[in-house]
Amino acid sequence: MFRYSVLFIAVSAALGGAAHADEVDLQPTVQVTASRVAETVDQTLADVSVITRQDIDTSVARDVLDLMRLEAGIDLYRTGGPGQQTSLFLRGTNSNQVLVLIDGVRTAAATTGAFAFEQLPLDAVERIEIVRGPRASYWGSDAIGGVIQIFTRKLEGPRVALGYGSYRDAEGSAGIGHWDGANGYSVQVGARHVGGFSPTNPGICNGPNDPYCPYDGDDDGYRNTNLAARGAYTLGSQLLSATLYRSQGQVQFDQGYSNVIEQTAGLNLEGELGANWSHRLALGNAREDLNTPAFSTLYLTRRSSLLWQNEIRLDENQRLIAGLDLVHEKGETRDTSSNTPRYRDSRDNRALFGGWRAAFGAFDSELSARHDDNSQFGGATTGSLALGWRVNERLRAYASFGQGFRSPTMNELYDPGYGGYFAGNPNLAPERSHSAELGLEFSPTANQRFKANLYSTRVHDLISFTGPQNRAENIANAKLDGAELSYRVNAGAWSARAAYTWEDARNADTDTPLLRRAKQKVSGTVERSFGERFTAGAELVYAGRRHDIGGVELPAYAIVNLRARYTLSPAWSLSARLENLADRNYELVHGYNTPGRSGFLDIVWQP
């Protein structure tokens, strides 16, 4: 660990020392998720990072795991290769304790509570915004660890891309867009086919004579087709816009395959209603289908939402945010062998939220609150408070406290289980949390940025399948403490970024570590431009030891990836990526394989 960490820190420090020679300003990136309204990263009183389309193109990453594992506070774990189940832990919280939105539409399945990150095609993404820390006072359920909002692609002109790489990984997309100010359209379609490798290894078996061992050693592939479309038109002082995203995939595993459909659609009307009053009226629809014939199971989610959000500017230093948020969702699990539902149910959630932002000289503050009224479990009220102090133009500090909650999933409530075992419980209460954070941002020069964050989170009434028949109960508690350091620098032809995460995620009742959370993590990139046409770079990912199911301790690992991009002409570009340069053999989940040394090549035509 230390030789890799020292290498990246030394490179970053050297670049920082050379920064004055040729400064490239690190402009704050506009983002909207933290407080629901547009503000720059250096204005928000939350720990926010933004992955832009340029970042995605530069990385030459094939999927979201390779991209987001470079971010501080994030751990992603996948049970095999591309398309296999991917779990995301943000600041130690569970996958279903992170709110995921696509173009503003809530996307997690009502049945399982999880979002299928493995089905997200990076080629269809414009940017990803990551807000760390509880945001339930604005967003409601699931935002205990934070909020991840994904914005689909916005093309300007035609674009065609083709790629091929190891494990018979073929990918292609084509699209077109045209924009005249706020008015325009963009449409892109894509497909991916991966031959794959065996997702499991003999370690998944309970000994050589395990009759239930799923390992068979064959290659299990993945197929996906996807669509991302958007359009907008100005109507007087209002902007009418619409988005559509659809991803349809088939992933193979040792016992069979699963067919997955992820779809979101949104219709928005927004603009000024008065001199100091703006609003946004949004309709949303989300769908997920997960069909696994080998297990005779079909999971269905349908969700409709209506949001009316208002922003009132009291003066140049104060503004109010208030809104009404309505959600209706249906969940169903069906036994496809007999074509009968295991359960089928629906629920409604009505919420009012409000926030006050104020800036007075060097200080700024944010106060927000929300009340949710759920037809299944009743009410939940959450609040948050944040204070910021701009010491000078280069240094800012802030502190925050926030509450969060997570509604029980449909499976946790209503699933009949198997012979009574692992059954849901309709009397479950929501999980609840509170979190405190201290943050520091320092920019010694215009092209350097340093961030440090300390946080402490407590989660109560965690839902656990326990007792004589492993029934769902509110009995567990968790304590999550951590620190995050990150640094970015641009110096002429060079750029670098580094992140360090220390995390202590534990079961508060037994004082045992939570599964698959590394206590220490280091990541970084170094990039070099060789003229205007060619760039090349390297990535480092290190994760410390992690505990897994069955008392297994997974060893630490470190991998290095290389990437390069060459502009052939104004319309053509060629990109290459080499992953796991040293061909390290490591596991993210016990008994599941990860890719060895592998390479990928992409060619893009975009006039």
- First-to-last alpha carbon distance for the chain, in angstroms, is 43
- Residue 427: count of CB within 10 angstroms of its CB: 11
Q: Give me 215's structure tokens.
A: 């390992």
Residue 239 burial (10 A CB sphere; 0-12, 13-18, 19+): middle
Which amino acid is located at 303 in the chain?
A: R
Among 592, 408, 454, 572, residue whose Cα is nearest residue 516: 592
Query: What is the predicted pLDDT for the residue at 14?
Result: 54
The enclosing H or E element of 140 equals none
Residue reference for tokens 């999933």:
409
The enclosing H or E element of 261 equals strand 256-274
Q: Quote the DSSP letter at residue 29.
A: P
Query: What is the predicted pLDDT for the residue at 21?
Result: 42
Q: Give me 317's structure tokens.
A: 């230093």
Contacting residues for 449 by C-beta, under 8 A, at least 6 apart: 26, 441, 442, 443, 487, 488, 489
Give the integer Cα–Cα distance in Å for 152 and 186: 10
Work out whether strand 98-102 and strand 146-152 pair parallel, antiparallel, or are unpaired.
parallel
Query: What is the predicted pLDDT for the residue at 79?
Result: 95
The domain 2-605 having CATH identifier 2.40.170.20: the answer here is yes
Query: What are residue 213's phi and psi, to 5 degrees?
Result: -65, 125
CB 518 within 8 A of CB 92: no
Please list the ranges in the chain whose pLDDT falls under 50: 1-2, 6, 19-22
Side-chain-side CA neighbours of 450 within 13 Å: the count stands at 12
Rounded to an integer, what is the distance from CA 457 to the centroid of its chain? 19
Residue reference for tokens 């659809």:
246
CB 177 within 8 A of CB 185: yes
Residues 49, 267, 344, 293, CA torsion sign: negative
Q: Where are the domains of the chain?
A: 2-605
Supply the pTM of this predicted model. 0.94
- Residue 363: count of CB within 10 angstroms of its CB: 12
* Strand, coil or helix: 510: coil
Work out whether strand 471-491 and strand 448-466 pair parallel, antiparallel, or are unpaired.
antiparallel
Q: Quote the DSSP letter at residue 409.
A: P
Contacting residues for 363 by C-beta, under 8 A, at least 6 apart: 387, 388, 389, 390
Query: What is the predicted pLDDT for the residue at 135?
Result: 94
